[in-house]
Chains A and B, each alone.
Chain A
Amino acid sequence: MNEQLLRDLLLYLNNLGISSRTELLPSLLKAQKLFGYIPEEAIEIISEKLGVSQVEIYGVISFYSLLYVKPTADTVIRICTSPLCSQKGSHKIQKALQEKLGIKEGIPSTDGLFMVESVHCLGLCAHSPSALVNEIPICHISENKLDDLIEGKGSKPLARAFSDNPVLTSRFGTIEADSINDFIREDGFKGFIHALTLDQETIISNVKASGLLGRGGAAFPTGLKEESTAKDEAKEVYVICNADESEPGTFKDRVMLLNDPYSVLEGMLITAYAIGSHKGFIYIRGEYDQAQELFAKVLKNAEEKGYLGENILNSGFSFHVEIRSGAGAYICGEETALFESIEGKRGYPRNKPPYPVDSGVFGKPTDINNVETFSYISRIFGEKRDNSSTRLFCLSGDVKRAGLYELPFGIPLIELINDWGGGTKEDRKIKTIILGGASGSFVPEKYWDIPLDQKSLREAGLSMGSGVIMVFDETKEIPSILNDISSFFNHESCGKCYPCQLGSRKQHEIISRIHKSGPLPDDRDKLLDIGFTMKDASLCGLGQTASSAVLSAINLWPELFTAKGGPLQ
């Protein structure tokens, strides 16, 4: 055991402002960084300092993919195997890489230099297949460039957006993302300063009047959330920015945080002022190291300039923001699981009610919103926008120009793909389109020209979720795509409730078999029972949507699920 590293950990723990359970995940991530894993001695120190039992810490570590109780390696290479990267051959690349290094998945090389494992979506879907080499994202990896990959070399993600009338993305490329002066020059904080002149009810009614719906996937009215949180007379109220973006096909929050992070902070400030909150968190997924570092600078600069901290701009209003890092768990994007994670627990979602606006993090009323939502709030006040007319779309898959698009609601799906995305590569035929990510569903061909607005989509039984559009061309096979999706949920179900814990596994077993060797006579009925059970009885949104793709595929291509010679229903 390295005594110096233990002393470093102790020093970190001694310097914590609060020694309580909420510091558990940050402390474990610190230990992971120091040691490359979390040794027993580290658990003992953390347990004593934070007053959390050792066995609970053990349970927490085992829940999160980025925390390990066994040594990892100097270089950990994580290959994305989410549907988009998998369809572009990432499994094969991973296998080749492991063979080259002479190691098996998840087991470090004997010299401790390398470890390879798969990871489910890195938010680099516009540049698939992709990988993470320690903290460095590498795009367009290939079997021919394994040496580069091992050294952490390769193409970096482009963080830009396409739009002909940018609102949310108007500052992209015109400012240095970490420069507060650039931000202010481009009308930054104007919305917040304007909001400071208004009373709280007016701010909330402006947000309500804007019609803004949450952009994280559930599309809940943002103003209503603010109103319900503010109404509560409790003194302690929290604002949380959910930046645990992990839905396969989603990368908008990463790009937003890397291009215009101050706008997100501005939205948080306005919200905090409106609901009387003095403490906020931004929970950024653990794989977004760059975004975390940048946001730390943003907070520091904002504090120095008086836009954050005590008595902001001499208004008497105080607000503090803390960055929390995820540790590799898709479920923590679910709001109540995110609260549990901040509280230092396994990321289990809670039964609702109580809802976050009544009892959120630490049991206090909490207004939690997505990155894009907060950024939009800043625009409502900065530019007096009275409607929420554009949104971010993440276009990926077999299109010529995959990437982030800011476009008006109501743009027809096929227009986005063809006119903006340039159509499919080599002008192949589109096999299928998925809206909403792994938890979304296949779009029937008759809806390929559907206007992308809430109403049209709802009527068609579709959902945009977090703005994900994944395009697959004719060279792709449905069972293979489904296999990637069911594999994702099999890996990411938290396992708390039975429908999802059992269903995500059984669903994957059946899909995987169908993919390999075709369906058995009762597969279809089993998948339907599993699917509806997950949808109808799971505890949280993850489980309730983990069968969406499979159910929609059964509906669209029943023949794929019916054994040869069996009845086609």
Chain B
Amino acid sequence: MIGLFIDDIEVECDEEMTIMKAAESVGIEIPTICYHEKLTPPGLCRQCVVEVEGARVLLPSCVTKVREGMKVKTNSPRVQRVRKTILEMLAGSTDLSNAQGLQEQMKESGADSKRFDNSEKRVFPIKDDNPFYIRDYSKCIVCERCVQVCSEDIQFSYALTTSGRGYENRISTYYDKELPQTSCVFCGNCIDVCPTGALIARKESL
């Protein structure tokens, strides 16, 4: 067991714990987008970053382990600025209308969803190519959870990948083929983990 301070609260926890879990143990909830209990945390959304005394930059609490004597601020002005800006940029890139969790986070952080409205959004035609799912990538935030569950984290089906680079990153099948032409087994795991409603089961959509 080691001791640290999170938002001035003294916390005792196992040394293998992440800052996010240690905070949770004393009732402090740190917001996150890409983190999922059952998946390998990719640490890419940076919404869960916290300020750690002595660190040059903010650290992702989902993958950063606690250390003896650490002093953590989970909601400092630096942290707030980053969280708010990330959400505003997301809203200026993606249709978040079905992303309930993100909308709550926007409200919480005071993010202005229209701030980057005159920025180029990622808009794609809806992919309706199979009897089970509908894929609306205009709502996709490329958190890559679907790729994770489709690959080593759960299903080993390898139907999905991230393709492209940078802002052009997309979730894609092999050569962007229709799902029935791929190795997809329609297990539905990707739908379960999608945080924004980009992937929905057909019956939900009706």
Contact = CB atoms under 8 A, between A and B. Distances in A.
Interface of A: 40, 53-56, 58-59, 62-63, 69, 329, 346, 351, 490-499, 501-506, 509, 526, 529-530, 532-533, 535-539, 544
Contacts of A538: 46, 57
Residue with the greatest number of chain B CB neighbours at <10 A, chosen from A40, A53, A329, A498 = A498
Pick the 9 closest A-B CB pairs, nearest first.
A59-B161, A53-B158, A502-B89, A495-B169, A505-B167, A62-B163, A493-B166, A495-B166, A533-B85
A58 B163 contact: yes
Nearest to A543: B46
Nearest to B116: A506
Given A58-B163, A506-B92, 12 more contacts: A55-B160, A58-B172, A59-B162, A62-B163, A351-B63, A495-B162, A495-B168, A499-B85, A504-B166, A532-B81, A537-B49, A539-B43
B89 A498 contact: yes
21 contacts: A53-B151, A54-B174, A55-B183, A58-B175, A63-B164, A329-B165, A495-B169, A496-B44, A498-B45, A498-B46, A498-B47, A498-B90, A502-B167, A506-B92, A509-B120, A529-B85, A529-B88, A533-B82, A536-B58, A536-B78, A539-B43
Interface in B148-191: 151, 158-169, 172-175, 182-183
Nearest to A504: B166
Interface string B75-112: 00010011011101110110000000000000000000
A530 B163 contact: no
B115 interface: yes
B142 interface: yes
B60 interface: yes
Chain A residues touching B, majority SS: helix
A539 B88 CA distance: 19
Contacts of B115: 526
B119 interface: yes
A493 B90 CA distance: 16
Interface in B20-54: 33, 42-47, 49
B158 A55 contact: yes
A535 B57 contact: yes
Contacts of A351: 43, 60, 63
A32 to B, nearest CB: 17
Nearest to A347: B165
Nearest to B182: A55
Given A54-B174, A509-B119, A539-B46, A492 B163 contact: no
Contacts of A536: 49, 57-58, 78, 81-82
- Secondary structure at the B interface, as helix, strand, loop or mixed, is loop
A490 B169 CA distance: 12
B49 A56 contact: no
A499 B172 contact: no
A55 B89 contact: no
A499 B120 CA distance: 16
B166 A490 contact: yes
A501 B34 CA distance: 14
Contacts of A506: 89, 92, 116, 119
B81 A40 contact: no
A40 B175 contact: yes
A262 to B, nearest CB: 35
B89 A544 contact: no
Nearest to B87: A498
A495 B173 CA distance: 18
A83 to B, nearest CB: 18
A542 to B, nearest CB: 10
Contacts of A53: 151, 158, 183
Contacts of B182: 55
A181 to B, nearest CB: 44
Contacts of B85: 499, 529-530, 532-533
B200 to A, nearest CB: 22
A496 B81 CA distance: 20
Interface in B111-155: 115-116, 119-120, 141-142, 151
Contacts of A62: 163-165, 172
A147 to B, nearest CB: 34
A501 B89 CA distance: 10
A503 B89 contact: yes
Nearest to A502: B89
A108 B82 CA distance: 42
B46 A502 contact: no
A3 to B, nearest CB: 21
Nearest to B141: A498
Nearest to A65: B165
A543 B163 CA distance: 20
A494 B165 contact: yes
A490 B82 CA distance: 19
A505 B44 CA distance: 17
B76 to A, nearest CB: 11
B86 A537 contact: yes
B67 to A, nearest CB: 11
Contacts of A509: 119-120
Nearest to B46: A537
A499 B159 contact: no
Contacts of B161: 55-56, 58-59
Contacts of B165: 62-63, 329, 493-495
A63 B162 CA distance: 9
Contact of A494 (B119, B166, B175): B166
A538 B174 CA distance: 29
Contacts of B166: 490-495, 501, 504-505
A530 B167 contact: no
Contacts of A56: 151, 158, 161
Given A69-B175, A509-B120, A535-B57, A501 B81 contact: no
B46 to A, nearest CB: 4
Nearest to B41: A351
A509 B120 CA distance: 8
Contacts of A533: 81-82, 85-86, 89
A40 to B, nearest CB: 7
